[in-house]
Amino acid sequence: MVNCCGLVSEKNQPVPLKSISVELQVRDHVASVSSCLQYVNEEERPLEAVFVFPLPADAAVCHFSARIGEQEIVAEVQDKQSARDQYDDAVSSGQQAFLLEESEESSDVFKLSVGCLSPGQKASITIVYIIELSVQADDALRFCLPAVLNPRYTPAVSAAGVPEVSSASVIPYTLSLSVEVRSSDRISKLESSCPLDPLEFLDAQHTHAKVNLSSGHRFDKDVELFLYYENSHHPSAVVEAGASVAESGSLMGDPALMISLYPEFPADVMSSLASQGEFIFVVDRSGSMGCKMHHGNDAQMRIESARDTLLLLLKSLPMGCYFNIYGFGSRFESFFPQSVVYSEDTMEEALKRVKSMRADMGGTEILQPLKHIYSQPCYPDHPRQLFIFTDGEVWNTKEVLDLVKSHVYSHRCFSFGIGEGASTALITGMAREGSGHAQFITGTDRMQPKVMQSLRFALQPAVDNISVDWSVPEGVTVDMLSPSINTLFQGQRALIYAQIKGQSSGQTEGSVTLKYRLKDQPVTNQLQFTLKPAEDTGLTIHRLAARSVIRSLELQERAGGADMENIRRRIVELSVQAGVSSAHTAFIGVNKDSKQTVKGPLLQRRVPVARMMGAFGGPGMNKCVGMAPRMMRRSPMPCDIQSNSMGIECDSVSDDCYEEAEPQKDPLLQLISLQKAAGCWELNASLAAVFGKTEDQVTNQKAVQVDGSVWATVLALIWLYAFKSDQQVEWQFVAMKSASWIRSQKPNGLSQCVCDGNALLGCQVTEDMLGI
């Protein structure tokens, strides 16, 4: 079956797309995107047309309409059960109806039957969605319009059996794109991967501008826009007027406020590493972790590589932090009931248990261990950071990502996909929603350097002690709509939504004071905002605020407890009011002119994306992914058996999975395994063996006045810098701890000690190089 995106016939053949017109309206850090697509039936027979549209991650559709001839179809949000009843009644009586429901697993694609296209007839499709723009490493805000609507994509079935699509050389339609930006900050520049007309400023302050895509663009690649503000790290407060037709006192009727908090981390802060934090390592122990990392003769088992990585991590942690290790499969277990203080005793206990870790826990079920971790109280002044290692997929990706996102301001999530079978949607999604970093270990990649790179990110200081205080005139109140924020990490931005209630007889302004702490330094920002916003700025902030509240309520509902019916009622009420879908509402299609329901199912479907980089904007997203003919659930394993909840592991083990052989002793890992938690080494035969010496040879070269542990630690540092410099990313924290320990001892004769060590090991390493 040919699978493609855009308007297709009932046989899944593409209907020619003639033009795309996109209007992008940006308000500070958020945007509303309106796309109008023009199609024509060039066949000599009628076509039953279906519209398929993939959405960016985190986008929320707030309008859909289709015009075919004189008939216009508009989708409206209603209570899900009411919409289903209306749909069933219409179908059973021979009437025409559409129904769109949000998938329980995902919410990233629309599929909609829009009726019959006569020969030569045109169809115009309009879809509007809202989105928070992502922040890039250079502080730009990024918007991506994927080139997924090409009607002449060539299907190619991937190894997993999921159709993928690549672009044809001839693009038979054009794209027009207009961009309007309104900001509380001065607009510095707007860049694109495609040619743009000159940026036109519409005010003297350079806070309002517009630009168009240069004419003639053939849309043969993604259109990326990068928006730069002059003071991107300055907090901002933007107020949007409520809808005049909405009830006063409701979220959509009152003014909505959006605060942007994007702290700047100075260079001296970035170069320092935190000594505090809670580090939780979550390791997949499903059966497939017993497979080899790659097909080479020298390949490690995945679980063996994970054990070596845990050794490095445990030796690299700073004294005084907290840590714990979880293993998961069809069940889960933790080394300690709750995170423990990092010390010599707890480190050694953990290392003993790491050595016995096996790939023996069945299927891949990550939701329950995450729920358990998130239920544990955090330690004050110790930001919690998760390191998650998995080689598989899960069927409930959306629920997992929702859970990670709901705790983003108290937990950070670093994720690692091991092998070719790791779900990119899961790995990239957890890192994105958890404000961390995703890494994939495939082919002959080594796990350790990638994990240690992420540890460096995790050890950088964080913003904490965040508070928001309001000052408004009498008669006015401000209700926070966003969850509270505890911690922000480097490169992380928080958007805080609030509702302004009531009226003031005199004053027209309020203020908000933002306070936080960065590396023990207090920071205070006070922002003024108007209580009388302009009436013509749209409802983007309102709808994103509503979606934020809906997500919080859905998470409460999934957690269970009392007052479930009231939570459900509130979700439906807000979803219908804002026109944003939820778990308890659906879009029902009606004929705008006659108010009669119209023909065809309007269904939202899960796209089973295999081996692709997450949502729009990742590698490979200039391709259109295949549409499944029915709702699909991702298997937790590469095969199609939904059995992870029963503990059944169904990865193939015929060629790739073997009994573990006795591991070869890596000298670097041998050395690191001998280090104490405080950072020092003891002088003994095991350490001497790493250097290729006997214990007597090493001991006899020690100066009398030098302590044995200082001598051993200096030798270990010299050996690392002299013989393992190409692997420095793996042992950098081990070396930093040992150098810090040496400095704390204030030893006499250190320079001579380094000279003697160089002589013993045949090296020329300086004190400065060692950092002591």
Distance CA(495)–CA(29), nearest Å, equals 8
Q: What's the CATH code, domain 277-459? A: 3.40.50.410
Q: What is the pLDDT of residues 366-405, one digit of tens each?
A: 999 999 999 999 998 888 999 999 987 777 887 888 889 8
Handedness of CA 660, 666, 669, 670 (dihedral sign): positive
Residue 408, CA distances (Å) to 364, 438, 494, 546, 684 in order? 23, 15, 10, 19, 45
pTM of the complete model: 0.67
Count Cβ atoms within 10 A of the Cβ of residue 766 and give its class: 0-12 exposed, 13-18 middle, 19 or more buried.
exposed
Q: What is the CA radius of gyration of the chain?
A: 29
Q: Which token pair is 677?
A: 């938690």
Q: Residue 13 gets which letter from DSSP? A: P
The DSSP string of 535-595 is S-S-SHHHHHHHHHHHHHHHHHHHH--S-HHHHHHHHHHHHHHHT---TTEEEEEEETTT-
Regions of the chain short of the pLDDT cut 50: 1-3, 96, 105-107, 149-170, 594, 597-663
Distance of CA 567 to the CA centre of its chain: 27
Distance of CA 470 to the CA centre of its chain: 31
Distance CA(621)–CA(613), nearest Å, equals 7
Q: Where do the domains of the chain lie?
A: 17-156+172-229+580-591, 236-268+472-576, 277-459, 678-770
pLDDT of residue 385: 92
pLDDT of residue 768: 84
Distance CA(290)–CA(301), nearest Å, equals 6
pLDDT of residue 644: 33
Token pair 């203020």: residue: 511
Tell me if residue 660 falls in helix, strand or coil: coil
Q: Residue 248 gets which letter from DSSP? A: T
Domain 17-156+172-229+580-591 has CATH 1.10.3470: no
Helix (H) or strand (E) holding 526: strand 521-530
Q: What is the pLDDT of residues 105-145, one digit of tens each?
A: 444 556 666 656 778 888 888 888 899 998 887 889 988 88
